[in-house]
Amino acid sequence: MKLYLAAVLASKATARELLETLGAVLRITQLQWELADEFLPTISKDDPTYSVRLAGIEGMRQSTASVIVGALGALTDPAHVGGVDDRLRFLKHCRDNLPALVPRLTLPSRIETLRHLDDLAADPKLEPLQPEITLLRDEVVERLRAKSSE
Assigned domain for 112 exists: yes
Assigned domain for 82 exists: yes
Question: pLDDT tens digits, the chain, 150 residues: what are they?
Answer: 565 556 555 666 677 888 898 999 999 999 999 999 999 999 999 999 999 999 999 999 999 999 999 999 989 876 666 789 999 999 999 999 999 999 999 999 999 999 999 999 999 999 999 999 999 999 999 999 999 887
Assigned domain for 93 exists: yes
Half-sphere exposure (Cβ direction) of 59: Cα atoms closer than 13 Å: 8
Assigned domain for 136 exists: yes
Assigned domain for 150 exists: no
Number of folded domains that form the chain:
1
Say what the pTM is. 0.87
Angle at 143 between CA 61 and CA 23, to 5 degrees: 60
Instruction: List the domain range (segments joined by +) for residue 91.
Output: 2-145
Cα Rg of the chain (Å, integer):
17
Separation of alpha carbons 111 and 144, rounded Å:
11
Assigned domain for 137 exists: yes
